[in-house]
Amino acid sequence: MELKPPLFILILLPLLLTYTTSSSSLTPLSLQHISPTKSPSPSKSPTPTSAQSTLDPKQLTALQSLNIPTLKDPCTQPSFHNATLCDTAKPFRHLLSLRLTNCSDDLELSTTALKSLSTLQDLQFINCPISPVHFPSDLTSNLHTFTCINSLKRLTGVWLGRLGNVTDLVVANVFVNASGPFVILGNMKKLRSVTISRTNLTGHFPKKWNLNIIHIDLSGNRIKGNVHTSFTLLENLEFLNLSSNALSGEIPYTFGDLLSLKNVSFASNSMSGAIPDTVSEIPGLVHLDLSSNQFNGTIPKSISGMKNLRYLNLENNNFNGVMPFNVSFIKRLSVFKVGENSNLCYNHSKISSKVKLGIAPCDKYGLPVSLPPAKESGFDDNGGSNEDETTDDDSSTHKDSNKHGPSKIVLGVAIGLSSIVFVIVFLVLLSKWCK
């Protein structure tokens, strides 16, 4: 250092001040609670000693080996792309957090560098397609949060499972080879939030979870099997995304026990059965996505009493009967989808056909009078095959005596109308052609 100490302090003080005021916007949310050491002193007079201490030389070398420029002190002037956060130890500060983004392909993680960096509590790789290496056990036991997005090429369940003290785990867009999520999560006793998304992870949905867990996102994998009843014991769970997997079976009847739940998606799986009535007992539920499964039965009317609901997607399932919602309920939502449920219909004396729902109006027995426009070509099958699909419900008593009447009339009218339209179009074309 060529600067004389007093001058040095004069330059560093404002830098430290700007850092401490702006750090909250630079560092991830999860860091704020792991850095109680972050200058508790009143902002006008940080102690001169803390300003003097710089990063541990071993850690400085490790950062340099990762191609992170260290001309500026990474503790006082962290870069935006490769963010760093340090403790305030003396005589040298130590790294608590490191985020590597957009690494070059030729970068290599060395075990030596990682050994020196084992004070890290938070480590993030974002767009760093480097080869994973064995993490020293000091590092794995210190890490509270670990993020790997589109990085480290491929991971194994055993490798991830060593991170036994993490509270927050994010792994996305990277192949994970494991026999199931439990191999990864089974030993993480402090886990509060997990995202393992778009990793092609296979195996079953775990039966056992840490009861304190708040956030589960296993979307975009190949997880199969049932969602077990035991999972409804997670009374702190706020967020559950299991979309785009291969789950089957029904939603447990005790689903309504998940009293903290706010957002949930089972979209794009192979789940079936009815929506449990208990779903409407979840007071804060805002987002419910059950689209693209084989859910069936009638839609519980109690859902219309859910005051906080803003997003409801039930499209592309096998729901049947009269859609129970009125216009004021639908208008309160920002997203409402019920289309592609061929046995579901709406009561046209309650809802105008101007509200585009993608389902047919009901006849007086609560059956769809025709298929929605998108499927008009299947209309001819309606009279015959529709019967098989709807025999299960209580309208079957009416059906023997009455069903053939209405549907034959409808069929006749439709054929008549389409012939007339056809003739008109034909005549118009003919007259144009003849000119």
User: Which residues are at the interface with ligand NAG (CB under 6 A)?
Assistant: 66-69, 79, 81-82, 100-104, 107, 127, 140-141, 164-165, 173-175, 177, 197-200, 219-220, 239, 241, 243, 263, 265, 272-273, 286-287, 289, 296-297, 304-305, 310-311, 322, 326, 328-329, 347, 349-350, 362, 364, 366, 392
Q: Which pairs count as long-range contacts for 194-199, CB under 8 Å and 24+ apart, including other chains?
A: 194/168, 194/169, 194/170, 194/218, 195/169, 195/170, 195/171, 196/169, 196/171, 196/172, 196/221, 197/171, 197/172, 197/173, 197/221, 197/241, 198/172, 198/173, 199/155, 199/171, 199/172, 199/173, 199/174, 199/175
Cβ-proximal residue to ligand NAG, closest one? 164
Residues contacting 183, CB < 8 A, separation 6+: 157, 158, 161, 203
d(CA 226, CA 249): 5
CB 100 → ligand NAG: shortest distance, Å?
5
Min CB(21)–ligand NAG separation in Å: 21
Q: Which is nearer to ligand NAG, 168 or 289 (CB)?
A: 289
Name which of 273 and 383 has its Cβ closer to ligand NAG. Answer: 273
Q: Six-digit token pair at 53?
A: 């201490």
Shortest reach from residue 376's CB to ligand NAG, in Å: 23
3-state secondary structure of 9: helix
Our CB check for ligand NAG shows the closer of 67 and 111 to be 67
Burial class (CB in 10 A: 0-12, 13-18, 19+), 79: middle
- Of the pair 16, 191, the CB lying nearest ligand NAG is at 191
40 phi-psi bin (left φ>0, alpha ψ -120 to 50, beta other): alpha
Least Cβ distance, residue 132 to ligand NAG (angstroms): 13
Residue 92 or 329: which CB sits closer to ligand NAG? 329
For residue 48, what are its two tokens? 């001169």
- Closest CB 151 distance from ligand NAG, rounded Å: 10
CB of 389 to ligand NAG, least distance (A): 8
Asked whether the beta carbons of 182 and 188 are under 8 A apart, the reply is no
State the nearest-atom distance from the C-beta of 392 to ligand NAG, in Å. Answer: 4
| Residue whose CB is less far from ligand NAG, 5 or 69 | 69
Q: Which is nearer to ligand NAG, 273 or 358 (CB)?
A: 273
